[in-house]
Amino acid sequence: MPLIHISLRAGKPEAYRQAIFNGLYRAMRETLDVPEDDQFMTMSEHDAANFRYGNAFGIKRSDDLVYIQITVFDTRTSEQKQALFRRIAQLLSDNLGIRLEDIFVNVLDSAKENWSVGFGLAQFA
């Protein structure tokens, strides 16, 4: 049950934003075995004054940079995460033309007991 938040510069059309959602969902289904219809994603758009990045690690980023933060159960393996990174990059690059340099992904591990998906219950504890 991943929880995703995406941040990008404002101004992209709705079809572009929806394609990001679709690409991330597909990548998770293919690499993390996420169940069908397990889509919990938000997106924030930021004007130039509220969106900052650098060229750390020698990566020349552009204003098309997309930040993707994915919170998952702490049961995912390193191999699954690496496959996820590769698949996200491939899908967003191939389908939207996003440069590989502009796809920034962060995975946060969270223990199952830290999740309540409704009704005030800890369903996975």
State pLDDT tens for residues 31-64: 999 999 999 999 999 999 999 999 999 999 999 9
Per-residue pLDDT, 87: 98
Per-residue pLDDT, 1: 84
Per-residue pLDDT, 12: 98
Sheet holding 3-9, edge to edge: 41-46, 3-9, 66-73, 103-110
The burial of 16, by beta-carbon neighbours within 10 Å (0-12 exposed, 13-18 middle, 19 or more buried), is given as middle
> What's the full length of the chain, in residues?
125
Instruction: Give me the phi and psi of 44, to 5 degrees please.
Output: -120, 135
pTM of the model: 0.95
Mark out the alpha helices in the chain (DSSP H runs).
Answer: 14-32, 78-96
Per-residue pLDDT, 70: 98
CATH, domain 3-114, list 3.30.429.10, 3.40.50.10330, 3.40.50.720, 3.40.50.10420: 3.30.429.10
Per-residue pLDDT, 105: 98
Counts for the chain of helices (H) and strands (E), in that order: 2, 4
Spell out the per-residue pLDDT of the chain, length 125, in tens.
Answer: 899 999 999 999 999 999 999 999 999 999 999 999 999 999 999 999 999 999 999 999 999 999 999 999 999 999 999 999 999 999 999 999 999 999 999 999 999 999 999 999 999 99
Let me know: does 9 contact 46? Beta carbons within 8 Å: yes
35 belongs to the catalytic site: no
Of all residues in the chain, the percent with pLDDT exceeding 70 is 100
Per-residue pLDDT, 107: 98
- Tokens representing 108 are 């946060």
Q: Measured between alpha carbons, how far is 110 from 22 in angstroms, rounded to an integer? A: 23
Question: Pick from 10, 100, 108, 95: which is nearest to 51 by CA?
Answer: 10
Marked catalytic residue, from 2, 4, 32, 72 = 2
Give 34's DSSP letter.
P
